[in-house]
Amino acid sequence: MKKTIILLFNALFLSAFDTSNAQNLVPNPDFENHFSCPVQTGELYRCEDWTSYGFTPDYFNSCSPDTVVNVPKNNFGYQIAASGNAYAGFINESGGPAPPREYLGVALTQPLIAGQKYFASLKVSFSGVGCASTKIGIRMSTLPYDSTSIQTLNNDAVVFTDSLVNDTLNWFPITGSFIADSNYAYLMIGNFFSNVASCPAGTYTSYYYLDDVCLSTDSLTCYTITGIQTPKNDLVQNVFPNPFNELLNIQCKTSERMEIKLYDIASRKILTKKFSTTISINTKQLNPGIYFYEIRNNEHVIKAGKVIKN
Protein backbone atom coordinates (compact mmCIF):
# COMPACT_ATOMS: atom_id res chain seq x y z
CA MET A 1 0.00 0.00 0.00
CA LYS A 2 2.79 2.39 0.95
CA LYS A 3 4.64 1.60 -2.27
CA THR A 4 1.48 2.29 -4.29
CA ILE A 5 1.04 5.69 -2.64
CA ILE A 6 4.66 6.61 -3.35
CA LEU A 7 4.34 5.59 -7.01
CA LEU A 8 1.12 7.59 -7.33
CA PHE A 9 2.76 10.65 -5.77
CA ASN A 10 5.73 10.37 -8.13
CA ALA A 11 3.42 10.10 -11.12
CA LEU A 12 1.49 13.20 -10.08
CA PHE A 13 4.71 15.09 -9.42
CA LEU A 14 6.19 14.23 -12.81
CA SER A 15 2.92 15.12 -14.52
CA ALA A 16 2.93 18.54 -12.88
CA PHE A 17 6.58 19.02 -13.81
CA ASP A 18 5.94 18.13 -17.45
CA THR A 19 2.96 20.48 -17.61
CA SER A 20 4.98 23.41 -16.33
CA ASN A 21 7.77 22.68 -18.78
CA ALA A 22 5.28 22.61 -21.64
CA GLN A 23 4.49 26.29 -21.19
CA ASN A 24 5.84 29.01 -23.44
CA LEU A 25 9.15 30.18 -21.92
CA VAL A 26 8.91 33.53 -23.71
CA PRO A 27 7.21 36.20 -21.57
CA ASN A 28 4.81 38.57 -23.32
CA PRO A 29 5.11 36.55 -26.55
CA ASP A 30 2.54 38.61 -28.46
CA PHE A 31 3.84 42.04 -27.32
CA GLU A 32 0.47 42.93 -25.78
CA ASN A 33 1.70 43.97 -22.32
CA HIS A 34 3.24 47.42 -22.28
CA PHE A 35 4.42 50.07 -19.85
CA SER A 36 3.00 52.81 -22.09
CA CYS A 37 1.75 53.27 -25.63
CA PRO A 38 4.37 53.98 -28.32
CA VAL A 39 4.39 57.45 -29.87
CA GLN A 40 7.28 57.16 -32.32
CA THR A 41 9.67 54.63 -33.84
CA GLY A 42 12.48 53.02 -31.84
CA GLU A 43 10.41 52.59 -28.66
CA LEU A 44 10.54 48.86 -28.03
CA TYR A 45 11.36 49.73 -24.41
CA ARG A 46 7.69 50.64 -23.92
CA CYS A 47 6.83 46.95 -24.38
CA GLU A 48 7.17 44.80 -21.26
CA ASP A 49 10.02 42.21 -21.16
CA TRP A 50 11.35 42.93 -24.68
CA THR A 51 14.38 45.11 -25.33
CA SER A 52 16.77 46.08 -28.12
CA TYR A 53 19.70 43.74 -28.69
CA GLY A 54 21.04 45.92 -31.48
CA PHE A 55 20.10 49.34 -32.89
CA THR A 56 16.45 50.52 -32.64
CA PRO A 57 13.70 47.95 -33.30
CA ASP A 58 10.16 49.31 -33.10
CA TYR A 59 6.97 48.72 -31.12
CA PHE A 60 3.50 48.98 -32.67
CA ASN A 61 0.24 49.04 -30.73
CA SER A 62 -3.33 50.03 -31.55
CA CYS A 63 -3.31 52.20 -28.41
CA SER A 64 -0.76 54.56 -29.97
CA PRO A 65 -2.00 58.13 -30.42
CA ASP A 66 0.28 58.47 -33.46
CA THR A 67 -0.34 56.70 -36.79
CA VAL A 68 3.43 56.28 -37.21
CA VAL A 69 3.41 53.26 -34.87
CA ASN A 70 -0.26 52.30 -34.81
CA VAL A 71 -1.88 48.94 -35.59
CA PRO A 72 -2.96 48.05 -38.18
CA LYS A 73 -1.89 51.15 -40.16
CA ASN A 74 1.56 52.67 -39.59
CA ASN A 75 4.41 54.34 -41.43
CA PHE A 76 5.83 51.02 -42.61
CA GLY A 77 2.63 49.55 -44.03
CA TYR A 78 -0.61 47.88 -43.03
CA GLN A 79 -0.84 44.71 -40.97
CA ILE A 80 -3.41 43.39 -38.52
CA ALA A 81 -1.73 41.79 -35.49
CA ALA A 82 -1.41 38.01 -35.68
CA SER A 83 -3.04 38.02 -32.25
CA GLY A 84 -4.17 40.85 -30.02
CA ASN A 85 -3.44 44.46 -30.89
CA ALA A 86 0.35 44.80 -30.97
CA TYR A 87 3.57 43.58 -32.57
CA ALA A 88 7.22 44.53 -32.99
CA GLY A 89 9.21 45.51 -36.09
CA PHE A 90 12.84 45.31 -37.17
CA ILE A 91 15.24 45.66 -40.11
CA ASN A 92 16.29 42.16 -41.13
CA GLU A 93 18.71 43.07 -43.92
CA SER A 94 20.48 46.13 -45.24
CA GLY A 95 21.90 46.67 -48.69
CA GLY A 96 23.50 49.97 -47.71
CA PRO A 97 25.70 51.42 -44.99
CA ALA A 98 22.79 52.52 -42.77
CA PRO A 99 20.61 51.81 -41.00
CA PRO A 100 22.09 48.45 -39.97
CA ARG A 101 20.25 45.27 -39.11
CA GLU A 102 18.19 45.38 -35.91
CA TYR A 103 17.80 42.78 -33.19
CA LEU A 104 15.45 42.34 -30.27
CA GLY A 105 15.63 40.02 -27.29
CA VAL A 106 13.95 38.80 -24.13
CA ALA A 107 14.92 37.04 -20.89
CA LEU A 108 13.25 33.61 -20.69
CA THR A 109 11.00 32.75 -17.76
CA GLN A 110 13.51 30.00 -16.86
CA PRO A 111 16.89 28.92 -18.30
CA LEU A 112 17.07 26.07 -20.79
CA ILE A 113 18.33 22.67 -19.69
CA ALA A 114 21.42 21.50 -21.58
CA GLY A 115 20.67 18.34 -23.54
CA GLN A 116 16.92 19.02 -23.63
CA LYS A 117 15.07 19.31 -26.96
CA TYR A 118 13.15 22.56 -27.51
CA PHE A 119 10.67 23.73 -30.12
CA ALA A 120 10.51 27.35 -31.29
CA SER A 121 8.22 29.40 -33.48
CA LEU A 122 7.51 32.98 -34.49
CA LYS A 123 5.45 34.84 -37.08
CA VAL A 124 6.75 37.51 -39.41
CA SER A 125 5.21 39.61 -42.16
CA PHE A 126 7.01 41.69 -44.77
CA SER A 127 6.02 45.34 -44.44
CA GLY A 128 6.64 46.10 -48.11
CA VAL A 129 9.40 48.55 -47.22
CA GLY A 130 12.70 47.84 -48.97
CA CYS A 131 13.20 44.34 -50.32
CA ALA A 132 12.06 40.94 -49.12
CA SER A 133 14.84 38.89 -47.51
CA THR A 134 15.68 35.55 -45.90
CA LYS A 135 17.44 34.15 -42.79
CA ILE A 136 15.07 35.57 -40.16
CA GLY A 137 15.77 33.48 -37.10
CA ILE A 138 16.33 32.86 -33.40
CA ARG A 139 19.59 32.70 -31.50
CA MET A 140 20.05 31.75 -27.84
CA SER A 141 22.41 33.43 -25.39
CA THR A 142 23.61 33.01 -21.81
CA LEU A 143 24.05 36.80 -21.52
CA PRO A 144 21.81 39.77 -22.39
CA TYR A 145 22.67 42.44 -24.97
CA ASP A 146 21.66 46.08 -25.42
CA SER A 147 20.99 48.56 -28.23
CA THR A 148 24.71 49.27 -28.73
CA SER A 149 25.62 45.60 -29.16
CA ILE A 150 27.11 44.34 -32.42
CA GLN A 151 25.87 40.84 -33.14
CA THR A 152 28.40 38.31 -34.44
CA LEU A 153 27.39 37.18 -37.93
CA ASN A 154 28.70 33.63 -37.68
CA ASN A 155 25.86 31.95 -39.60
CA ASP A 156 24.55 30.47 -36.36
CA ALA A 157 20.86 30.39 -35.43
CA VAL A 158 18.95 27.61 -33.71
CA VAL A 159 15.87 28.23 -35.88
CA PHE A 160 15.67 30.27 -39.11
CA THR A 161 14.14 30.30 -42.58
CA ASP A 162 15.77 30.08 -45.99
CA SER A 163 12.53 31.15 -47.62
CA LEU A 164 12.22 34.60 -49.16
CA VAL A 165 9.48 36.11 -46.98
CA ASN A 166 7.64 38.50 -49.30
CA ASP A 167 4.01 38.21 -48.15
CA THR A 168 2.66 41.58 -47.02
CA LEU A 169 -0.87 40.30 -46.34
CA ASN A 170 -0.45 37.17 -44.23
CA TRP A 171 1.77 36.18 -41.31
CA PHE A 172 4.54 33.73 -42.23
CA PRO A 173 5.27 31.07 -39.56
CA ILE A 174 8.88 30.09 -38.85
CA THR A 175 9.24 26.90 -36.83
CA GLY A 176 11.99 24.51 -35.80
CA SER A 177 13.61 22.53 -33.01
CA PHE A 178 17.06 22.20 -31.46
CA ILE A 179 18.94 20.52 -28.63
CA ALA A 180 20.16 23.05 -26.05
CA ASP A 181 23.94 22.82 -25.59
CA SER A 182 23.98 25.27 -22.68
CA ASN A 183 21.73 26.73 -20.00
CA TYR A 184 20.61 29.63 -22.19
CA ALA A 185 18.61 32.32 -20.42
CA TYR A 186 17.98 34.76 -23.29
CA LEU A 187 16.37 34.57 -26.74
CA MET A 188 17.11 37.02 -29.56
CA ILE A 189 15.59 37.51 -33.01
CA GLY A 190 17.10 38.87 -36.22
CA ASN A 191 19.44 37.94 -39.06
CA PHE A 192 22.69 36.31 -37.90
CA PHE A 193 24.02 35.33 -41.34
CA SER A 194 26.85 37.13 -43.09
CA ASN A 195 26.42 35.93 -46.66
CA VAL A 196 22.91 37.13 -47.45
CA ALA A 197 22.58 38.73 -50.88
CA SER A 198 18.80 39.00 -51.17
CA CYS A 199 18.85 42.83 -50.97
CA PRO A 200 20.61 44.76 -53.74
CA ALA A 201 23.06 47.56 -52.99
CA GLY A 202 21.24 50.78 -52.21
CA THR A 203 18.20 49.00 -50.77
CA TYR A 204 18.87 50.02 -47.22
CA THR A 205 15.94 48.35 -45.49
CA SER A 206 14.21 45.01 -45.45
CA TYR A 207 11.60 45.66 -42.80
CA TYR A 208 9.49 43.02 -41.03
CA TYR A 209 6.73 42.86 -38.44
CA LEU A 210 7.08 40.26 -35.67
CA ASP A 211 4.46 38.57 -33.48
CA ASP A 212 3.71 35.42 -31.42
CA VAL A 213 7.15 34.20 -30.34
CA CYS A 214 7.30 30.80 -28.63
CA LEU A 215 9.87 28.48 -27.07
CA SER A 216 8.82 25.26 -25.32
CA THR A 217 9.69 21.62 -24.70
CA ASP A 218 6.32 20.74 -26.22
CA SER A 219 5.90 21.03 -29.99
CA LEU A 220 2.13 21.45 -29.70
CA THR A 221 2.58 24.53 -27.51
CA CYS A 222 4.55 26.41 -30.16
CA TYR A 223 3.27 24.91 -33.37
CA THR A 224 -0.31 25.64 -32.36
CA ILE A 225 0.65 29.26 -31.70
CA THR A 226 1.91 29.56 -35.26
CA GLY A 227 -1.56 28.86 -36.61
CA ILE A 228 -2.33 31.89 -38.74
CA GLN A 229 -5.09 34.02 -37.28
CA THR A 230 -7.00 36.28 -39.65
CA PRO A 231 -9.98 38.55 -39.23
CA LYS A 232 -13.36 36.93 -39.70
CA ASN A 233 -13.83 37.21 -43.44
CA ASP A 234 -16.37 34.58 -44.39
CA LEU A 235 -18.97 37.32 -44.94
CA VAL A 236 -16.91 38.90 -47.74
CA GLN A 237 -16.94 36.84 -50.91
CA ASN A 238 -14.62 38.84 -53.13
CA VAL A 239 -12.74 42.12 -53.56
CA PHE A 240 -11.85 42.45 -57.25
CA PRO A 241 -10.18 43.00 -59.60
CA ASN A 242 -6.73 43.24 -58.04
CA PRO A 243 -4.92 45.05 -59.57
CA PHE A 244 -7.81 47.35 -60.55
CA ASN A 245 -8.17 50.27 -62.97
CA GLU A 246 -11.32 52.44 -62.72
CA LEU A 247 -13.64 50.26 -60.62
CA LEU A 248 -13.11 48.31 -57.40
CA ASN A 249 -15.85 45.77 -56.70
CA ILE A 250 -16.89 44.13 -53.45
CA GLN A 251 -19.23 41.18 -53.08
CA CYS A 252 -20.57 40.00 -49.70
CA LYS A 253 -22.55 36.95 -48.61
CA THR A 254 -24.84 38.98 -46.38
CA SER A 255 -27.28 41.84 -46.77
CA GLU A 256 -26.30 43.48 -43.48
CA ARG A 257 -24.97 47.03 -43.60
CA MET A 258 -21.24 47.25 -44.35
CA GLU A 259 -18.65 49.98 -44.62
CA ILE A 260 -15.41 50.05 -46.57
CA LYS A 261 -12.56 52.42 -45.78
CA LEU A 262 -9.68 52.89 -48.19
CA TYR A 263 -6.26 54.22 -47.13
CA ASP A 264 -3.18 55.21 -49.09
CA ILE A 265 0.31 53.94 -48.30
CA ALA A 266 0.85 56.87 -45.91
CA SER A 267 -2.18 55.68 -43.85
CA ARG A 268 -4.35 58.62 -44.97
CA LYS A 269 -8.03 57.77 -45.32
CA ILE A 270 -8.99 58.25 -48.98
CA LEU A 271 -12.66 57.30 -48.96
CA THR A 272 -15.45 55.72 -46.94
CA LYS A 273 -18.47 54.00 -48.50
CA LYS A 274 -21.46 52.28 -46.91
CA PHE A 275 -23.14 49.43 -48.78
CA SER A 276 -25.08 46.18 -48.56
CA THR A 277 -24.27 42.96 -50.45
CA THR A 278 -22.34 44.55 -53.36
CA ILE A 279 -20.71 47.81 -54.36
CA SER A 280 -18.68 49.13 -57.31
CA ILE A 281 -16.43 52.03 -56.34
CA ASN A 282 -15.37 54.55 -58.97
CA THR A 283 -11.62 55.06 -58.50
CA LYS A 284 -10.82 57.34 -61.43
CA GLN A 285 -9.67 60.03 -59.00
CA LEU A 286 -7.08 57.75 -57.37
CA ASN A 287 -3.44 57.77 -58.43
CA PRO A 288 -1.79 54.48 -59.38
CA GLY A 289 -0.24 52.74 -56.39
CA ILE A 290 -0.88 50.57 -53.34
CA TYR A 291 -3.98 51.01 -51.17
CA PHE A 292 -5.19 49.28 -48.01
CA TYR A 293 -8.81 48.56 -47.16
CA GLU A 294 -10.93 47.65 -44.16
CA ILE A 295 -14.45 46.25 -44.45
CA ARG A 296 -16.50 46.53 -41.28
CA ASN A 297 -19.94 45.57 -40.08
CA ASN A 298 -21.51 47.10 -36.98
CA GLU A 299 -19.20 45.16 -34.66
CA HIS A 300 -15.68 44.84 -36.05
CA VAL A 301 -13.39 44.55 -39.08
CA ILE A 302 -14.41 41.43 -41.01
CA LYS A 303 -11.85 41.70 -43.79
CA ALA A 304 -8.74 43.76 -44.48
CA GLY A 305 -6.17 43.68 -47.20
CA LYS A 306 -4.19 45.38 -49.91
CA VAL A 307 -5.17 46.33 -53.47
CA ILE A 308 -3.16 47.89 -56.28
CA LYS A 309 -4.30 50.41 -58.85
CA ASN A 310 -2.62 50.25 -62.26
Same domain, 210 and 260: no
Same domain, 89 and 38: yes
Using 50, 70 and 90 to split pLDDT, how confident is the model at 17? Answer: very low
Same domain, 135 and 205: yes
- Answer yes or no: is 4 within a domain: no
- Answer yes or no: is 65 within a domain: yes
> For residue range 186-197, what is the model confidence (pLDDT) as tens digits?
999 999 998 655
End-to-end CA distance of the chain: give it in Å, rounded: 80
- Answer yes or no: is 231 within a domain: no
pLDDT confidence of residue 107: 98
pLDDT confidence of residue 298: 78
pLDDT confidence of residue 6: 42
More confident residue, 310 or 233: 310
Using 50, 70 and 90 to split pLDDT, how confident is the model at 228? Answer: very low
pLDDT confidence of residue 254: 84
- Answer yes or no: is 138 within a domain: yes
Domain boundary among 225, 246, 275: 225
Residue 115 belongs to domain with CATH number: 2.60.120.260
Same domain, 114 and 250: no
> For residue range 189-219, what is the model confidence (pLDDT) as tens digits?
999 998 655 666 666 688 999 999 999 999 8
Domain boundary among 176, 203, 225: 225
Counting residues of the chain whose pLDDT is more than 90, the rounded percentage is 50
Same domain, 157 and 272: no
- Answer yes or no: is 13 within a domain: no
Mean pLDDT, rounded, for 162-173: 89
More confident residue, 123 or 308: 123
- Answer yes or no: is 170 within a domain: yes
Question: If 0-12 CB within 10 Å is exposed, 13-18 middle and 19+ buried, where does residue 298 land?
Answer: exposed
Same domain, 219 and 254: no
| Total of domains in the chain | 2
pLDDT at 16 over 60: no
- Answer yes or no: is 10 within a domain: no
